[in-house]
């Protein structure tokens, strides 16, 4: 079981909302909306995706990484490195 399983429905709801935002962006471009209005909506969609990513990262650390550390062994080090790499990807984006 993954750490986010308990909140799975909430994540799906948030992702569907982001999907709607992206469709709205497509419609704005199709309708030749003002550039700044489109950029504002791109920023909102980006923040929404970042919120999902941060929530998943928090779930991963508090469940998967914490469990691996409690169990010890090489899996613990691997999970910490995996989480660090995920954080680095998020910081770069």
Write out the chain's pLDDT in tens, 93 residues: 677 778 899 999 999 999 999 999 999 999 999 999 999 999 999 999 999 999 999 999 999 999 999 999 999 999 999 999 999 999 997
In angstroms, the CA 54 to CA 35 distance is: 28
pLDDT at 1: 65
Residue 83 near residue 60 (C-beta atoms within 8 A): yes
Q: How many CB atoms lie within 10 A of CB 24?
A: 15
pLDDT in tens, 36-51: 999 999 999 999 999 9
In angstroms, the CA 14 to CA 37 distance is: 22
């Amino acid at each position: 079981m993954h750490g986010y399983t308990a909140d799975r429905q909430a994540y799906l709801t948030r992702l569907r909302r982001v999907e709607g935002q992206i469709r709205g962006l497509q419609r704005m471009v199709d309708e030749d909306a003002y550039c700044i209005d489109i950029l504002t909506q791109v920023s909102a969609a980006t923040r929404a995706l970042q919120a999902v990513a941060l929530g998943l990262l928090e779930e991963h650390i508090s469940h998967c990484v914490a469990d691996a550390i409690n169990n010890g062994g090489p899996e613990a080090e691997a999970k910490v490195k995996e989480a660090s790499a995920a954080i680095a990807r998020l910081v770069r984006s």
